[in-house]
Amino acid sequence: MQVRADIVFKSLSDPTRRALFERLCREGELTVWELTDAARVSQPAVSKHLGQLKSAGLVRGRRQGRETHYSAETKALKPLVDWLGFYAAFWREKFDALENLLNRMDQ
């Protein structure tokens, strides 16, 4: 869960990537060309950002003929919009790590 949140946070810290992702959330499936039209950056730059979003699990690509159709994987945003859920899992894990340390420490 931590790893996931980390990647998601980093990925969406870039305004261009955030705009691309937001558009996919809003409009559903789009090709790299459709995304480039409104992105104000070059097509290779859009492709690079899409690759990054994809490796963060935020976007998935569906190959159809010579085109790839991209869509938003909104489930990946769960840790981002839910600090409470994130920290509930975080602290449980840290308590385990603390217990482990206490067992190794001298009195």
Task: From residue 23, give the alpha-carbon distance in Å to each of 14, 20, 31, 74.
Answer: 14, 5, 12, 12
66 binds another protein (CB under 8 A): no
Binding residue (CB under 8 A) for another protein from 27, 51, 64, 95? 95
Q: In the window 30-49, what residues touch another protein (CB under 8 A)?
A: none
**CB of 51 closer than 8 Å to CB of 11:** no
Residues 69-88 that bind another protein (CB under 8 A): 74-75, 77-78, 80-81, 83-84, 87-88
Q: For CA atoms 17, 70, 73, 38, give the dihedral sign.
A: positive
Task: Give 46 or 77: the residue with its C-beta nearer to another protein.
Answer: 77
